[in-house]
Amino acid sequence: MLLPVILCGGSGTRLWPLSRETYPKQFLALNGRGVSLLQDTARRLDGLTASIPKAAPVVVCNEDHRFLVAQQLQETGVKAAHLVLEPVGRNTAPALTLAALVSSPGAVLLAMPADHVVGNAAGLNEAVEAAWPLACSGAMVTFGVFATRPETGYGYIQKAHPIEGSCAYAIQSFAEKPSLELAQTYVASGNYLWNSGLFMVRVDQWLKAMAALQPAMLQACRAAMEGASRDLDFIRPHGESFSACPADSIDYAVMEHLPGETTLGIPVRVVPLDTDWTDLGSWEALWEVLPRDAAGNAHTGQTLAVDTHDSLLFSQTCLVATVGVDNLVVVQTPDAVLVADKRRPQDVRKIVSELRTRERLLVSNHRKVHRPWGWYDPIDCGERFQVKRIVVNPGAQLSLQMHHHRAEHWIVVTGTAEVTKGDNTFLLAENQSTFIPLGCVHRLGNPGKVPLEIIEVQSGSYLGEDDIVRIEPGNGG
């Protein structure tokens, strides 16, 4: 049985300000297909041959993102997925180990990062089908992309001899993000492939490798799963046990130790991946995958480029215009603007690091805040007032609550609102409104089948989010 494992952790700091900790890049529609990177990854194997039995995926993600993951999988028609919720991030090797520990020993894991763009899913499926018999026989298989340029942001795989009867190669060595000069040497040799970060391995072989190479990591993961709790499709590893786990990637923890290793009896193989592939880890990488005009500019949103070349212009709420510039990245969100040299894609993380040092919420939160029940966007504020746009998902409701310092006025824009105010519960239709006095117990819900949108006007002496006394919890719909 093939078990897709979607690795959905990470915060995507190099795509700030679009990617934030509470809503990172894997949940954004950045590939030009109108679906998020996670959704695209979840449907990537739909064309796999019926001769390979495939199970519902396991998604390993941050516990804080559980409702985002569940909602996006539901929207794209992926059913019966199991969500393993990491209490803290520990990189990809522990994440894959958690997935292995909830799987049967004979299953074949296919680890797929949720933030990659694959231009031709058929090419990926062909590579998976070629790797299937190798993984079933006990090999650990990775997938290498033909290197078309000297890329310093990717890892490389050095091929060894071809494997008889397959399109795979043995692996001579792994090389992490090289200098430009070394990358040019790799590409010129024709003997190196980009490391795609995709791995296929049988569960028992992965656990065998972990026991030999990373015993402390495996022990911590086992303890976390032994103390795990389950809630519907959510699997919650024990937090204290998993926090004690060392952090490392699949490459560093396991793969780089295996070439030339004979005592474990786990051969390592690379299958060439003949498809457009991008690790969407920077603004330059996004520029590469988006359509570009005759001057080499990629545009998203309201943009205007005059005498501008080879630039990425990205706008969410207003016009972004440039004149007489080249090789720029200009990204506008409702609460931040980034202007950067496109040729320095890795340095955006320095801004995030500086903001984190200054304890700025811009690192973690967008202005638009997502919740299990929907989202809200503070669209205006001033002394003693704040205006929010609130959208509640069908069937969802907020917590039963009250406020000590503010009153609220709700106006329904679209949909139907179910309002609890004190001892009364009633419905509001479009263009109707209600007033929630200070100190009044209240709840907002959406009993309909379409999203409910309201405008909330708050007034009072203090308008912080911590002025909420929750009496009963809400739900995510």
For Cα atoms 94, 73, 390, give the angle at the middle one, nearest 5 degrees. Answer: 110
Instruction: Enumerate helices (H) and strands (E) in the chain, giving the number of each.
Output: 11, 30
Pick the closest to residue 254 from 219, 221, 206, 202 (CA basis): 206
First CA to last CA across the chain, in angstroms?
32
Pick the closest to residue 7 from 75, 61, 49 (CA basis): 61
Tens of pLDDT, residues 446-457: 999 999 999 999
**Domain locations along the chain:** 2-279, 283-360, 369-472
Name the β-bridge partners of 309: 326
pLDDT at 387: 97
Q: Residues in the chain with pLDDT < 70?
A: 477
Tens of pLDDT, residues 333-379: 999 999 999 988 888 989 999 998 887 788 888 899 888 899 999 99
Cα(113)–Cα(10) distance, rounded to whole angstroms?
10
The tokens 């071809």 sit on which residue? 162
Class of domain 2-279: alpha beta
Pick the CATH number of 369-472 from 2.60.120.10, 2.30.30.110, 1.10.10.10, 3.40.50.300: 2.60.120.10
pLDDT at 274: 85
Cα(204)–Cα(152) distance, rounded to whole angstroms?
34
Cα(51)–Cα(48) distance, rounded to whole angstroms?
8
**Rg of the chain's alpha carbons, rounded to an integer?**
25
pLDDT at 87: 93
Cα(280)–Cα(284) distance, rounded to whole angstroms?
9
pTM of the model: 0.88
Q: What backbone phi and psi angles, to 5 degrees, belong to 52?
A: -105, 110
Pinpoint the alpha helices (H) of 56-201.
66-75, 92-101, 121-136, 180-189
pLDDT at 278: 87
Pick the closest to residue 173 from 111, 93, 257 (CA basis): 257
Strand pairing report for 442-445 and 417-421: antiparallel
In this structure, what is the dihedral angle of CA atoms 196, 197, 202, 203, given to the nearest 10 degrees? Answer: -170
